[in-house]
Amino acid sequence: MKILVSFKSVRDPSDVTVAGAAISTPKSVINPFDEIAIEEALRIRERGQAMEIVGVTIGAPPVDEQIRTALAMGVDRAIRIDDSRVLDPYAVARILGAVVKKEAPRVVIMGKQAVDDDSNQVGQMLAGLLGWPQATFVSKIEFLDDKTRARCTRETDAGLEVVEVNLPSIITTDLRLNEPRYVSLPGLIKARHKPIEVLTCDQLGVIVRPLTTVLSVERPPKRAVGTRVESVEELITKLKQEAKVL
Amino acid sequence: MDFAWSDQQRELLDAVGRFASHQLNYNVIENDRDGVFNHDAWKKCGSFGIQGLPVPTEYGGLGMDPLTTVAALERLGYACKDNGLLFSINAHLWTAVTPLVYNGSEAQKKKYLPGLCNGTLIGGNAMSEPNSGSDAFSLATTASKKGSRYIINGSKIFVTNGPVADLLVVFATVDKTRGPDGISAFLVEKDSPGMNVARKLEKMGVRTSPMAEVFFENCEVPEENLLGKEGGGAFLFTRSMTWERGCILASAVGTMQRLLETCIRYANERKQAGQSIGKYQLVASKIVDMKVRVESSRHMLYHYGWLSGHRKAVYLEAAMTKLHIADCWVKCCEDAIQIHGGYGYMTEYEVERELRDAIGSKLYSGTSEIQRNIIASMLGL
């Protein structure tokens, strides 16, 4: 069985990691939900249920760093769609759709959303474009009946929902599916010899037509400096009169 | 000499920093207080690849050159706050792993190195004795050949990793009358009959690195566990000590860099009499001294690494590197406490521990006085 994992390069949400030592330059990392998708693919292979894991991402050459991380974790080979434009979820889904047709995987696993734009649409759109079943927000995956179906546990507001999908299908991962492994130095060295195929939208025959346009991006308003109150009464008065929350 | 990192080296160093800052900094205060070795962190370091850094790939290592190795250990020291764990890793690397790489038989390397690299085995050495420390070659532990075995008798002290070690490189003399030429090295496995890890030693710093006194009473070791040649122990020890002196404080350079950054941040944040304390020249001057110490230490370390990797003689450079970094480390820690004032003296601020951890560096791998003796002798004095 071949698994395709797609991942997005995002700004490191944790940034500073050592208490007492500021690591200055903001770094890019694999979107944490996609990292969970990669980890799950690796575990499926380690259980003997997959033969090959192909990673795919879209971006300019700097994302090769995140590709090497994926390869170092254990992904067998990678495809980078060389495109530096800001793409909306529909465009990403169409590009990934073309890659899926080229690679013909049995399962596509990806994060439920990216932590930078929180769109949460690519997996669903990709399933729609391909006409494949989808299992989203998944916290457990089991393959059944000689890998013709997958039983997935979904995390919903109502509780844990168990669904079965026929393969091939799209699975998007939730936070509690697994804890991704860290990249080891031997993995990093092995990754240097793993192939990265670079393709363009032209080569895939995809013409990107954005459906959404970002009009503006603004910083959230700065928080006002807090004040210290002397008593509970004063706090309640302020909550009523100034904050108007009571 | 070129200390500009290639993309591959930079990638490796970044990976070390990320790994260490995410995986190794838990329970450090508690483990220091209770003298607990973090076995789990040791295993993580093994599977990550730290213990295999300088070991050839055919024995399960990464085959890194000395310069890359010391730079990786420096980054480890920057990102990992458990100096005891780093001390244990260093003892393992330079007193057990390196002698095996350079003096081990093919069978010995195949048997032990993969486990020593991947974190399943812990190594150390047993050289110092109650009556022979700086005068190491006057050791009294004996090894006598009996058939196909050696029988070891004697006692060893300050055995780093002793309480947890799976494999010790034990130095003993096969013939006291031959002086240094009688000294031989043996690979002694944990639980060998006659070997007794007598007591765990309490100490001032690097408390998360366990240390023991070890007794040998008719301890039988098969002859294939002789490391190097019979009588070759003094040469082996000198070579291993040169590696150790050059590399053991690589992580301390990273630690100093972290302390420097901590102090700069604190000096900018802490205000007294209406201004940041960093604006006071007496505080700024301490931080400037710290910066110069970090940079000079780093350059000596890289210089040593470069020479060692280019197969140049490094006996003198190793001693100078060790002497200089140990001095700088202790002074940096003193300054860091002084800059933090009363808070720096408090355990929870994690500055006082750094000083306790640093002081041992003037004692182990040859005291600072011994390093000066070596340097003097190399200068023809």
Match 């700097």 to its residue by tokens: A62
- Please name the residue ranges forming H helices in A74-133: 89-103, 122-130
pLDDT class for A17, splitting at 50, 70, 90?
A: very low
Nearest partner of A189 among B176, B303, B247, B63, judged by Cα: B63
Asked whether the predicted pLDDT for residue B124 surpasses 70, the reply is yes
Condensed to tens digits (0 to 9), the pLDDT of residues B284-315 reads 999 999 999 999 999 999 999 999 999 999 99
Residue of chain A whose alpha carbon sits nearest to that of B262: A20
What is chain A's mean pLDDT, rounded? 91
The first and second tokens of residue A99, run together, are 């890659």
Confidence of residue A21 (pLDDT cuts 50, 70, 90): very low
With CB atoms and an 8 Å threshold, state whether B18 touches A182. Answer: yes
In this complex, which of A21, A188, A189 lies closest to B258 when CB atoms are compared? A21
Is there a contact between B182 and B176 (Cβ–Cβ < 8 Å)?
yes
Judged by CB atoms within 8 Å, which residues 6-25 of A form the interface with B?
17-23
Given the DSSP bridges, would you call strands B226-227 and B183-189 parallel, antiparallel or unpaired? antiparallel
User: What φ, ψ does residue B80 adopt, rounded to 5°?
Assistant: -105, 130
What percentage of residues in chain B have a pLDDT greater than 70?
Answer: 100
Nearest to B326 by CA among B353, B365, B288, B299: B365
In degrees, to the nearest 5, what angle opens at C-alpha A54 toward C-alphas A48 and A58?
A: 155
In A, minimum Cα distance to B46 occurs at A184
Model confidence over A151-178: pLDDT tens digits?
999 988 999 999 999 999 999 999 999 9
What's the pLDDT score for residue B333?
Answer: 98
Beta bridge partners of A173: A111, A138
Q: What ipTM was reported for this prediction?
A: 0.85
Chain A residues within 8 A of B62 when measuring between CB atoms: 185-186, 189
Query: What integer pLDDT is reported at residue A165 of this predicted model?
Result: 96
B49 to A17: CB separation less than 8 angstroms, yes or no: no
Catalytic residue (one of B74, B129, B213, B244): B244
Q: SS3 breakdown of chain B: % helix, strand, coil, rounded to 5?
A: 60, 15, 25
- Interface contact B47-A185, CB threshold 8 A: no
Known catalytic membership, residue B244: yes
Which residue among B8, B49, B53 sits closest to A184, beta carbon to beta carbon?
B49
Q: Which of B11, B52, B262 sits opposite A20 (nearest CB)?
A: B262
Q: B309-356: per-residue pLDDT in tens? A: 999 999 999 999 999 999 999 999 999 999 999 999 999 999 999 999
Chain B residues in contact with A188 (beta carbon < 8 A): 11-12, 15
